[in-house]
Structure 1
Amino acid sequence: MGWIETEHGGYAVTLDGTHVLCRNAAGRTLKQVPPKLKDDAAVVRLRQLAEWLERHARECREQVDTWLVRSLPVPVALLARVWPDPAWQAALRDLVVAPPAADGSADMARAGFLRDADPQKGAGIVDLDGDSQRLACETVLIPHPVLLEDLDDLREFALELEVEQGVEQLFREVWRRPDDAGGLHWRAYENGKFAQLRHATARAVALGYRVRGGEAVCPLVEFGRPLEAAYWLGDEYPDAESLTGSLEWRDRHGRQVPLGEVGPVAWSEGERMAALVYAGRVTGDEEGELR
């Protein structure tokens, strides 16, 4: 955008991405906005715009992540509508997309890296042979990486194409359910020690998860079935020491789902949540420092 004159003689400001720049009367761009311009109307408006742009970009990424995690079909017309918006395009560009197959799964034979979305021409991709194509379909799926049989090959191909995904897909860490998993509770992330319960809950919220009733919760949809993964954090006072508990999955009625019946996406995303929160626990060295 262009430079906007401030109320303080000679100074002008502009927005570079989400960063406010300032230049002086000599036309030199300064390293930072001078303190005396902090309350200038133009500076305040630009900072408010920058905050909105950051929030908008975050919301776009969160929405696309929801489409991926919940295996939701996305209308190509919707992609075309939002594509001109740089924030939406940054979240969508280079994701692997595929038309739905007859059984509702992703037709990976026609998959490719999303490069364009046009209301007349449809979704433009670079297919897995490196050729530019247009998908003749009304909706596309953004497959979760745990569903991709050739994930390692796709990752290598993405590196060759110098793909940078705004939303983690191909390089999203995945977890697979062990064949012998049984019962109702997955205990791999129990006994993670947090000096204060609020440290665990704040970490879960910062990672984008809900906290409810002493648990970190991740809403999921698999094969059209609403589920949630729930990881116990504790229900003591916020400043009390806390140990994490087990991870479980529940259906829409709150009934626990046997581990052997948890689908691949729900398992991967549930364990991902637990692993990310658990990684913030107090380690052995830190325990010594606390004493």
Structure 2
Amino acid sequence: MGWLAAGDGYEVALMEGRVVARSTSGRAVGRQLKSLPKTLREHPEVDRLRRLAEWLDRHAAACVAQVDTWMVSSLPVPTGLLARVWPDEAWQAALRDLAVVGDDPDEVGFLRDATASGELRVVNLDGETVRLSPETVTLPHPVLLPDLDDLREFAADLGVTQKVEQIHRATWLKPAEVKVGATQVTEFAGGKYASRFGLAARATQLGYKVSGGYATCRVRDAGRVVEAAVWIGEPYWDSEMETGNLTWHDQEGRSLPLSEVGPVAWSEGMRMAAALHAGRQIEEGA
């Protein structure tokens, strides 16, 4: 964005999310100022740029949230859609360097570019830039990626950084065998908080929904929607509280046996429960 005239002797612009000014007269002409002069702080152009910055922040957050939803649920995304949004810097930042899979589920690459013609350019695990033009791609949840440890090592060598947490996302593999008829995991229960309010606040801060007495996480896994839930206490409870057990439910609210919980729903539910437990009060000497 270019410089805009604002008041006598100044121009303003939006740089790296903040409004900056420079002088257009005197000895400091063309020099960017360390702070906004007092006379500009309420100027209409400055106010407009501040509101634009706020909108850009919301837009960037919305892009990250949408891409995170695609990734967590491993939803097929039209290649043409990626090509259309790629010129937008916020979309590009959210998508760049994510591991993608096209027509061949065994061919994983890191997304580096999307052309107007709908062609994707990815760096494959041989370090080569290849072109893909499938009708759709998926941004797989890391628990579904084969050889994840090798992929993480390669990403480190390549200098990959991801705006949306994917390959370095904490994952939990479902045990090969679970107790017959079991419906809950108790591993992260018993994390003490000073109040239910503090526990609910941590859940919200982490991006989880708080509904009634539960912190919840909804995931699309293997074509169906599953909700993981951790008991955090009744809303009106205002004293010490502990994290409860982790359970999963289908769209009809039916409690799922652990044997029916898919790998993504399992991993995301355990990730939520572990994060809530990690915020617990730690007793001295423990």
Q: Aligned to 1:170, which of 157, 162, 167?
A: 167
Measured in 2, the distance between the counterparts of 1:42 and 1:239 equals: 47
1:4-15 to 2 correspondences below 5 Å: 4-7=4-7, 9-15=8-14
Aligned residues of 2:188 and 2:274 also touching (Cα < 8 A): yes
What SS class does the counterpart of residue 59 from structure 2 fall into? helix
* Structure 2 partner of 1:205: 204
Distance 1:66 1:40, change over 3 A: same
Q: Aligned to 1:134, which of 131, 135, 138?
A: 131
Measured in 2, the distance between the counterparts of 1:181 and 1:52 equals: 47
Aligned residues of 1:236 and 1:242 also touching (Cα < 8 A): no
- Alignment of 1:74 onto 2:77: yes
> Which ranges of structure 1 fall in alignment gaps of 5 or more residues?
102-106
Measured in 2, the distance between the counterparts of 1:11 and 1:282 equals: 52
What TM-score do you get using the length of structure 1 for normalisation? 0.90
TM-superposition CA deviations, 1:204-242 (whole Å, max 9, x none): 112111110111111111110111111111114364322
Q: Aligned to 1:33, which of 29, 32, 36?
A: 36
What TM-score do you get using the length of structure 2 for normalisation? 0.92
* Structure 2 partner of 1:46: 49
Aligned amino acid, residue 63 of structure 2: C
* Structure 2 partner of 1:158: 155
Aligned amino acid, residue 240 of structure 2: E
> Which ranges of structure 2 fall in alignment gaps of 5 or more residues?
none
Aligned residues of 1:15 and 1:21 also touching (Cα < 8 A): yes
TM-superposition CA deviations, 1:123-177 (whole Å, max 9, x none): 1111111112111310001111111221111111111111111111111111112
1:248-287 to 2 correspondences below 5 Å: 248-285=247-284
Query: Shift of residue 248 of structure 1?
Result: 0.6
Measured in 1, the distance between the counterparts of 2:12 and 2:270 equals: 46
* Structure 1 partner of 2:90: 87
Distance 1:152 1:285, change over 3 A: same
What SS class does the counterpart of residue 123 from structure 2 fall into? strand
> How many aligned positions are there?
280
Measured in 1, the distance between the counterparts of 2:195 and 2:118 equals: 55
Q: Aligned to 2:68, which of 62, 65, 69?
A: 65
Aligned residues of 1:197 and 1:242 also touching (Cα < 8 A): yes
What SS class does the counterpart of residue 284 from structure 1 fall into? coil
* Structure 1 partner of 2:225: 226
What SS class does the counterpart of residue 44 from structure 1 fall into? helix
* Structure 2 partner of 1:104: none
